[in-house]
Structure 1
Amino acid sequence: MSTSSIAEEVATQETNTRETKITNEISSGESPPSQIQLKEQKLSCRKFSRYDSLDVEANKLHPINHHSSKVLTLHLAFQSIGVVYGDIGTSPLYVLSSTFPAGINHNDDILAVLSLILYTITLIPLIKYVFIKITNGKGGTFAMYSLICRHAKIGLIPSQEPADQDVSTFQLENHRLLRASIFKSKLEKSKFAKFFLLIITMLGTSMVIGDGILTPSISVLSAVGGIKEATSAMTEERIVWISVGILVFLFMFQRMGTDKVGYVFAPIIFVWFIFIAGIGIYNFIKYDPLVIKALNPKYILDYFRRNHKNAWISLGGVVLCTTGTEALFADVGHFSVRSIRISTCAVTYPALILAYTGQAAYLRKNNSDVSDTFFKSIPGPMYWPMFVVAIFAAIIASQAMISGTFSIIQQSLSLGCFPRVKIVHTSSKYEGQVYIPEINYLLMVACVAVTLAFKNTVKIGNAYGIAVVFVMTLTSAFLVLIMIMIWKTKILLVILYVLVIASVELVYLSSVLYKFDQGGYLPVAFAMFLMSIMFTWNYVYRKKYYFELDHKVSPEKLKEVIIDTNSYRLPGLAIFYSELVHGIPPIFKHYVENVPALPSVLVFVSIKSLPISKVPMEERFLFRRVRPNDLNVFRCVVRYGYTDVRNEQEPFEKLLVERLGEFIKEDYKFSIVEESQGNHEEMDSDGSGNGENVDHDQEAVKRDIEVLEEAWRAGIVHFVGEQEVVAGKGASLGKRILIDYAFNFLKRNLRQSNEVFDIPQKRMLKVGMTYEL
């Protein structure tokens, strides 16, 4: 099984031919043209093939060794405790009370439930997520979908056109295993499979966002409710309003960023884990050390024989011990794989095992306290310190899902599957730490509404279970696909995974669905609503992309368009934004037909999100020149990984002009090599026979650089397409509703592209055009 990350996979697919090595030397300016020619003559007598900047740089993407320092890894491991594990760490507050809502019928039922909890935590959070799943890379459901799409042509997002593949380091692997090849071929041929995978991915993502609503509500209500043990004056209504106040404070704190939040929260959660582990040891020794018998799975079988259907229903409470594990995977983008593994194995897993074991030992002697096991099992002198820490831990528990929600929405936005929202990068040191204001306020309003509506943890727990287990089951299905097609795992290991882990999750899913009408409908309804928004946006996004692809202006016809419209060239630099990598967008032709004046330098920019985490700054801009040279027209692809900053802390315009100047110089070097290669038989041994051409090219480079600098001094204007989309004539009713009403409603009420990419308002012009889709 391969455990390489996405970035490492990209690096292993680099082209290392001799010609590419020579071209890299040219682009870096290490050798003069004559030396390059002599090297090439020694290596090969074949004609030197032309490479331009796009072709060369697209194969230069190197793996990035993030967080390689051991000190930094330990630092991130400690910080992750405050961001990642708050949710699963506070599950002891409500798991046993949710499992036995009607009380304990038999003392051995406690051993059976403890056995279920121990094996469930070991199988799902530890083995599945920490040691198998996060080897896949960073992110949540969309990261897995993106990885699968990179190895098979099954994606419905516009990233697999030949032009996109060249600049997105997208490479289809030559499968050597017959099983993987057959499986991949069947998926690629099935339109239903492609559509189904995208829909399921959106549904799973929506469920995780639903977790971000339910986690704060159930955690804070559970912790605040513990004060009833100290005073009877605290009514349910007061508990609810105190919880609402805490929730509002929590969401207002998010703008500080994951980095600062982690520093503040990590010590508190660390203390929380020490407390629950210590109390667990105390209860284990004082009440019933023989509870260790729960390691024997025989008690689970006896539990089902005694309780039948009620035992199966109680699984909906047991599975709550795994809450927050999907956030653990999504939050890898905020930290690193190694730091997550260290913090899980050294702190989280042992603390949880000791906490549940201690609670079970206490209940063996105090069956009647099951409705409030956590607080009743706390030794008297430790009650108030534990209550205070529990309040803070419950607040922090919400942080894992909130941070995970931000990461997942950022990925889906990068893939064109979510409406435009503002992504704020909150850390200059660590990639992937983001804050999304619109989503933060949406989650806050939804959390407050759920808390006020349900008022207790019973119905919220029912809803929570469905959201948690559904996403777990979905990720297992994706993981099986990855094992078969990408990791090429032995079939026996795949079958073992399905039998041991996936089948357990299916059993849990059947249990939580039983409580659908008791609050379980909430995450499903929310997910369906959110998924409809995502599907609408993605559907029209794809239609717009292919419309531009079908109506683009080819580079060969660009000169005709400019000449036919009698356009005047004025000093200045114009940046036209487009989704297209190759070809000129149709909105440009629409512009020159109506405004016969163009800046002296034109750059058509396409911003692409790659299925990797980070693109080095020196490899961010890829250029190609549109011939003839005297047009001064360039195409540029600006590449971002899904954890990269977009124009917030970098001088985008200045960088683009600097890289464009470097490209112009490199482009002429390629021309020199081509001419030298074509005439090498006529040249002298020292290469002096081509001196006149070299002098001519040097003058051309100087002239083009002067034109670029003059354009830069004259000013830059940003042209943004303001496309109005309407359903084409003869479109079906459903298509008209989707495009004319649903999409346009979203577009009017959400951010525009210029706001997302921070395009300067004073130098921006919008060009309107209607697309009939």
Structure 2
Amino acid sequence: MEMSGDVIVDDNHKTEESQQEEEEVPPQLLKGKKLSWQKLRRSFDSLDIESSSVRGHHARDSKTVAWTVILHLAFQSIGIVYGDIGTSPLYVFASTFPNGIKHNDDILGVLSIIVYTLTLIPLVKYVFIVLRANDNGDGGTFALYSLICRYAKVGLIPSQQAEDQEVSNFQLELPNNRLKRASWLKSKLENSQFAKFFLLFATMLGTSMVIGDGVLTPCISVLSAVGGIRKATTEVTEDMIVWISVAILIFLFMVQRFGTDKVGYTFAPIICVWFALIGGIGLFNFIKFDPTVIKAINPQYIVQYFQRNKKEAWVSLGGIVLAITGTEALFADVGHFTVRSIQISMCSVTYPALILAYSGQAAFLCKHNDLVKEIFFESIPEPLYWPLFVVAILASIVASQAMISGTFSIVQQSLSLGCFPRVKIVHTSTKYEGQVYIPEVNYLLMLACISVTLAFRNTEKIGNAYGIQVVFVMTLTSAFLVLIMIMIWKSHILLVISYVLVISSVELLYLSSVFYKFAQEGYLPLAFAAVLMTIMYIWNDVHRRKYFYELDHKVPLGKLKDIATDTNLCRVPGLALFYSEVVQGIPPLFKHYVVNVPALHSVLVFVTIKSLPISKVPIEERFLFRRVEPKDQNVFRCIVRYGYTDTRSEDEPFEKMLVERLKEYIINNFWFSQSKLSNGENDGELDVGFANGEDEINDVKDVDEEKLQKVLEREIEALDQASRAGIVHLIGENEVVAGEGATMGKRFLINYAFNFLKKNLRQTENVFDIPHKRMLKVGMTYEL
């Protein structure tokens, strides 16, 4: 970095009253800002001392959240997270036995597989292992990727700074033993460009699959529930079922704008009633028809099932795997809740209800082999048919909510890491962070759901596609988790091997089965993923190219000094904010602006909006300032650091926050510099030169406190005058074109594909709420 005097403002120990006093910073209070040497040491050294011991801020860690809040979130999570997996009993047995049941022991074999699959994957893997890999409370594929990026330098953009590791959330708690294996794997990843691209590619693929899950889940859930009306009447045709389903889907997506909080409290009672009904009916059928199905707890029935049916048993796994659809929502939606709340709701409500429901259906099928295609509604006692039918419709709506919420979360993460075109993120809850709504994604999902429902028209075809979707994401999560277990958790090698042999091998077996149905509409999720990955790759590739272009064409420090001291340039009152993505040096936007407009504002701040591979950055650690030479020109660099789930608060204007933090930086840095000089610790890097003040400070040790006070007052007054004169936001309106000699593929990628996405999506100022009246766009052409 070509700057000096780097200081991070630390407000960890400030009271609200002291923060309010600093916001105004009247001259009479500046004297009070002169801290003792000991206090300055604590203020500025605390980050270095504490950062290694501060636990990552799990924004909703169960240890820091009151139990009343945890229980409220556990109740909410029932309505958001478990709708998908909770409605699986609607179609699992029907999808597993499409050609009918040949032997009663086959029912016991399938039930045994379902019980052990539910235990191994959702319960053991996700609830007790994967949820531990949350990133400061947030989950999903990008959370796993961000953990790896923080531990190993595998990012493709060189924006890492040493100061990033001083952010308290950035630190990872690492065990002390088993370092050799972790260091070897870390070194391999950091030194392999292929490994870096592969990790990013796998993350994009997993993200695309989860988004595709948000399309298929509503289709299969709603169609299954609405199709239950056939038991009551034969007058309802397939067309009517399809159009009723479409109407329900439209309603579902229309209510998303009200937010997860309101939707969760609306849907949670419905799913609670649903689980109570299917669990109660399951227990009733279990006792009434065949209690001996409890024998399915013996895994020997699984072995006999495969011995008896061979290839057909393997193919049937594609139907059985639908019993764990929506499991990824446990992890993707953890940012909306807490780890503890999801563990409580899964263990106390969801898992027992599902085991009872499948056991009851198996007991019913042992006496009614011929009713397997309509097993769910046929197994309902006659008096409960209509109540359960209504609840099933409502529950199918809720089932869709789980993956829709997860889709919003994962799109927000990919957007922050430069892997998705800019869309607007709307925070829908003031009580709980992480609950978001994305209008563009919501409407695209709605259109995709309607198209799939109208095109496929029944659950059997959609189920073939759904299986690939579900198992692929689970397998990818396991691959990332193994890396985390080795590198970050430094788990014992026997635990890693056990995980791979027990859980990963089961997932790979399921994956081989679902790919068998690739030609039978199984290609659909891969088609979705291909489209989404193409969009993500185009955006990310050009995003990286733009970054390196700005890095190669940045303004040298010596050139900046020549520009700032040029007598032909007019200095006008005001504060100018130049936006750039580059964290090193001065962006080319500045040089282009000066060439066309021979005037500079009295205070210049080069602002870089930077996303760290962590979910949240504490507000007191968000701004990092440095003064740029020459010191008497009032030029600053500002790195504004966000996590991938952070957004700008509309209640606290960005420019106001920046100015107040800049004042704090100037005040703290001034007295810190004086204290170091007075103690004889001048290392040549102290920031003691201020506008119009250097001629008065020839020897700091001989200058009395009053004179220093006046210098600081003038510095703050200069910033206040510039702010009052007006703040201008200068943004590069970049036209991106392929450079001379570019290949045909590169020309298509940049000139057509990327520019098409850019023109049809939100611009930067809309996403970050930059005021249009004070925004100035500087046109530039980047030849990449």
Q: Normalising by structure 2, what TM-score?
A: 0.90
Partner of 1:12: none
For residues 758-769 of structure 1, the aligned pairs below 5 Å read 758-769=769-780
Shift of 1:58: 8.7
Is the contact between residue 289 and residue 367 of structure 2 (CA under 8 Å) also seen in structure 1? yes
Shift of 1:768: 1.1
Is the contact between residue 736 and residue 751 of structure 2 (CA under 8 Å) also seen in structure 1? yes
2:705 maps to amino acid: V
Partner of 1:43: none
SS at match of 2:442: helix
Name the CA distance, whole Å, in 1 between partners of 2:390 and 2:367. Answer: 26
Partner of 1:595: 597
Name the CA distance, whole Å, in 2 between partners of 1:420 and 1:165. Answer: 27
Say whether 1:154 aligns with 2:154: yes
Shift of 1:65: 5.8
Name the CA distance, whole Å, in 1 between partners of 2:58 and 2:113. Answer: 39
1:580 maps to amino acid: V
Partner of 1:395: 397
For residues 172-211 of structure 1, the aligned pairs below 5 Å read 177-211=179-213
Partner of 2:729: 718
1:112 maps to amino acid: G
* The 10-residue stretch of structure 1 (556-565 or 455-464) with the greater mean CA deviation from structure 2: 556-565
C-alpha offsets along residues 28-52 of structure 1, whole Å, 9 cap, x if unaligned? 9999899844789xxxxxxx99979
C-alpha offsets along residues 498-536 of structure 1, whole Å, 9 cap, x if unaligned? 110000000000000000011111110110111011011
* The 10-residue stretch of structure 1 (564-573 or 666-675) with the greater mean CA deviation from structure 2: 564-573
736 and 322 in structure 1: CA distance in 2 versus 1, 3 angstrom threshold: same
Say whether 1:553 aligns with 2:547: no
Is the contact between residue 188 and residue 194 of structure 1 (CA under 8 Å) also seen in structure 2? yes
For residues 487-566 of structure 1, the aligned pairs below 5 Å read 487-564=489-566, 566=568
Say whether 1:450 aligns with 2:461: no
61 and 729 in structure 1: CA distance in 2 versus 1, 3 angstrom threshold: farther
Is the contact between residue 178 and residue 492 of structure 2 (CA under 8 Å) also seen in structure 1? no
Name the CA distance, whole Å, in 2 between partners of 1:676 and 1:22. Answer: 23
SS at match of 1:519: helix
Partner of 2:221: 219
171 and 559 in structure 1: CA distance in 2 versus 1, 3 angstrom threshold: farther
Shift of 1:644: 2.2
2:151 maps to amino acid: H
Is the contact between residue 291 and residue 361 of structure 1 (CA under 8 Å) also seen in structure 2? yes
728 and 175 in structure 1: CA distance in 2 versus 1, 3 angstrom threshold: farther
* The 10-residue stretch of structure 1 (735-744 or 403-412) with the greater mean CA deviation from structure 2: 735-744
Say whether 1:728 aligns with 2:739: yes
For residues 569-584 of structure 1, the aligned pairs below 5 Å read 569-584=571-586
Name the CA distance, whole Å, in 2 between partners of 1:289 and 1:347. Answer: 22
1:308 maps to amino acid: K
Partner of 1:104: 101
Partner of 2:465: 463
632 and 435 in structure 1: CA distance in 2 versus 1, 3 angstrom threshold: same
Is the contact between residue 168 and residue 610 of structure 1 (CA under 8 Å) also seen in structure 2? no
Name the CA distance, whole Å, in 2 between partners of 1:546 and 1:729. Answer: 17
Partner of 2:119: 122
Partner of 2:415: 413
SS at match of 2:333: helix
**Runs of at least 5 residues in structure 1 that lack an aligned partner in the other structure:** 1-18, 41-47, 681-687
Is the contact between residue 139 and residue 332 of structure 2 (CA under 8 Å) also seen in structure 1? yes
Name the CA distance, whole Å, in 1 between partners of 2:88 and 2:515. Answer: 20
Say whether 1:740 aligns with 2:737: no
453 and 565 in structure 1: CA distance in 2 versus 1, 3 angstrom threshold: farther
SS at match of 2:318: helix
2:535 maps to amino acid: I
For residues 421-436 of structure 1, the aligned pairs below 5 Å read 421-436=423-438
Is the contact between residue 56 and residue 171 of structure 2 (CA under 8 Å) also seen in structure 1? no
Cα RMSD over matched residues? 2.9
Name the CA distance, whole Å, in 2 between partners of 1:340 and 1:419. Answer: 31
Q: Normalising by structure 1, what TM-score?
A: 0.91
Name the CA distance, whole Å, in 2 between partners of 1:614 and 1:717. Answer: 28
For residues 303-452 of structure 1, the aligned pairs below 5 Å read 303-452=305-454
Is the contact between residue 221 and residue 399 of structure 2 (CA under 8 Å) also seen in structure 1? yes
Is the contact between residue 61 and residue 615 of structure 1 (CA under 8 Å) also seen in structure 2? no
1:115 maps to amino acid: S
Shift of 1:672: 0.8
Shift of 1:167: 6.7
Shift of 1:650: 2.2
Is the contact between residue 216 and residue 395 of structure 1 (CA under 8 Å) also seen in structure 2? yes
SS at match of 2:703: helix
Is the contact between residue 159 and residue 582 of structure 2 (CA under 8 Å) also seen in structure 1? no
Is the contact between residue 146 and residue 611 of structure 1 (CA under 8 Å) also seen in structure 2? yes
SS at match of 2:129: helix
Name the CA distance, whole Å, in 1 between partners of 2:31 and 2:12. Answer: 10
61 and 731 in structure 1: CA distance in 2 versus 1, 3 angstrom threshold: farther
Name the CA distance, whole Å, in 1 between partners of 2:227 and 2:720. Answer: 67
175 and 746 in structure 1: CA distance in 2 versus 1, 3 angstrom threshold: farther
SS at match of 1:678: coil
Is the contact between residue 587 and residue 769 of structure 1 (CA under 8 Å) also seen in structure 2? yes
Is the contact between residue 118 and residue 324 of structure 2 (CA under 8 Å) also seen in structure 1? yes
Shift of 1:697: 2.6
Name the CA distance, whole Å, in 1 between partners of 2:190 and 2:371. Answer: 56
Selected match of 2:635 from 621, 633, 657: 633
Is the contact between residue 222 and residue 393 of structure 2 (CA under 8 Å) also seen in structure 1? yes
666 and 344 in structure 1: CA distance in 2 versus 1, 3 angstrom threshold: same
Name the CA distance, whole Å, in 2 between partners of 1:404 and 1:22. Answer: 34
Shift of 1:661: 1.5
Name the CA distance, whole Å, in 1 between partners of 2:739 and 2:171. Answer: 35
Partner of 2:241: 239
Name the CA distance, whole Å, in 2 between partners of 1:115 and 1:340. Answer: 25
Shift of 1:615: 2.5
**Runs of at least 5 residues in structure 2 that lack an aligned partner in the other structure:** 1-6, 23-29, 683-698
C-alpha offsets along residues 683-709 of structure 1, whole Å, 9 cap, x if unaligned? xxxxx9946253333212111111111
1:250 maps to amino acid: L
Shift of 1:574: 1.2
Name the CA distance, whole Å, in 2 between partners of 1:540 and 1:168. Answer: 31
Name the CA distance, whole Å, in 2 between partners of 1:694 and 1:337. Answer: 54
158 and 278 in structure 1: CA distance in 2 versus 1, 3 angstrom threshold: farther
Is the contact between residue 164 and residue 581 of structure 1 (CA under 8 Å) also seen in structure 2? no
Is the contact between residue 160 and residue 170 of structure 1 (CA under 8 Å) also seen in structure 2? no
Is the contact between residue 626 and residue 633 of structure 1 (CA under 8 Å) also seen in structure 2? yes
SS at match of 2:575: strand
168 and 763 in structure 1: CA distance in 2 versus 1, 3 angstrom threshold: farther
Name the CA distance, whole Å, in 2 between partners of 1:298 and 1:678. Answer: 79
Name the CA distance, whole Å, in 1 between partners of 2:9 and 2:760. Answer: 50
Shift of 1:321: 0.6
SS at match of 2:302: helix
2:728 maps to amino acid: V
165 and 739 in structure 1: CA distance in 2 versus 1, 3 angstrom threshold: farther
C-alpha offsets along residues 185-226 of structure 1, whole Å, 9 cap, x if unaligned? 122222221111111111111011000000000000000000
Is the contact between residue 214 and residue 404 of structure 2 (CA under 8 Å) also seen in structure 1? yes
Identity among equivalent pairs (%): 70
SS at match of 1:601: strand
* The 10-residue stretch of structure 1 (585-594 or 182-191) with the greater mean CA deviation from structure 2: 182-191
1:757 maps to amino acid: F
1:293 maps to amino acid: K
C-alpha offsets along residues 422-477 of structure 1, whole Å, 9 cap, x if unaligned? 11111111111110111000000000000000000001000000000011111111
Selected match of 2:483 from 476, 481, 484: 481
* The 10-residue stretch of structure 1 (265-274 or 593-602) with the greater mean CA deviation from structure 2: 593-602
Name the CA distance, whole Å, in 2 between partners of 1:183 and 1:139. Answer: 23
491 and 158 in structure 1: CA distance in 2 versus 1, 3 angstrom threshold: same
SS at match of 2:502: helix
SS at match of 2:429: coil
Name the CA distance, whole Å, in 2 between partners of 1:332 and 1:350. Answer: 21
